A and B are shown apart, each in its own frame.
Chain A
């Protein structure tokens, strides 16, 4: 188990290095080839030659690619110093550089916004698991019934309706018309109950989308599992049907759902852009949307790395949980 864990952690480290390399290529080489000068983007087009030159020096844009790469890595793991124009700016590790627009350090922006996105994703995940699993199981057990058809129609709607539609609709109805919940985001640190009230609609909106997918997956998996021989054995033992379903069938149904959950939560760390924008939640998604609009390369780069890391780590956790659920994949 321990050797497996070490091996996996090593693989994660290699993976992250590869991701950083790829990100570096995309954000440093492509601007070079397309002729967009990061220095111009940093200072603005109206700036004079000297300040552009100063920035070029400071960002070491004229150095060989390998030197730039080395500095980039060094910045992430140990921090780096930007020297130029007569002063030195220290950017402590992990250093992703400075925003082209706000000229703020990227890392604090990320750490500010990550918890918001995390709370959005995890809260929604709890709701969509509860809804998706129960609807899926019920649909499987009542296959072909009116309930099944209604639930699956609802699931189809959930999958196909965009978040900005369901989100805005729920905002209009529950926040503005009936005033049941808050219509805007309040930071957790400011007021917990207001934060909760403001998060309910985003959670439900996001959960509606994902819950629909989970309901469909649960239903399909459950139907498959119910046809397994060991379910017949469980009944042949004289077990009550709730035990047969809740214990024997659910255990097997959980495996594919867990896999999907790991990928989904990891991917949501990159920001639920639509949900965050719809509900004005200051998470990573909103930040990255703004960054894309403003061609703020360092910020995009930071969010990309965070997302990739989250997916890799979520997958590692899922794989470890897999071993707990399914003894056949338990590795030594």
Chain B
């Protein structure tokens, strides 16, 4: 790939200086090795060091560079910059308070994550080596444990936009099912009780934006369906 120039339109807001957010038009020249959107953003940062965004691992594992790219949530480090329509419009994740530029306050998102007790609950004394699972039992956790908590799904969910304080959101519910499905966990009933609520679980209207945007190709809607399925089996 040769050198090329990419046009950007970036959401800018510094609450210490700006009265209101605005969109900044800016372009950057990319080097042949720059493949991903994050590479371009790093070059933008070198050009205008007031631009703020989160980044860390640059390989789709930490989930810190989740932003809204041309109207769709995604990870900058996994998005090929040459596939994007120009000008590339970058905005912070929708529905969460903006701290500055592309950085959002994730407090509400993590409050919901913590509310589902995202850890194994087992009161039995730990065995000498490990708590065993059959291959089939372990298989059920595939597609669940890979969530990197980037918040792309929850911030693409209209139900989470309207009730971020009450609706657990797709990411929280996917992680809730990760522990409900775990045969080593002993708190399945408490976990289902915790979710049986018109807001916490039943705000999901199966819109499925979560599946559309998940950078790890996970399926929170299916996990939510399995939680409802377990609740029905328990109730009837």
**Are A and B co-members of a single complex?**
no
Residues on B facing A (Cβ under 8 Å): none
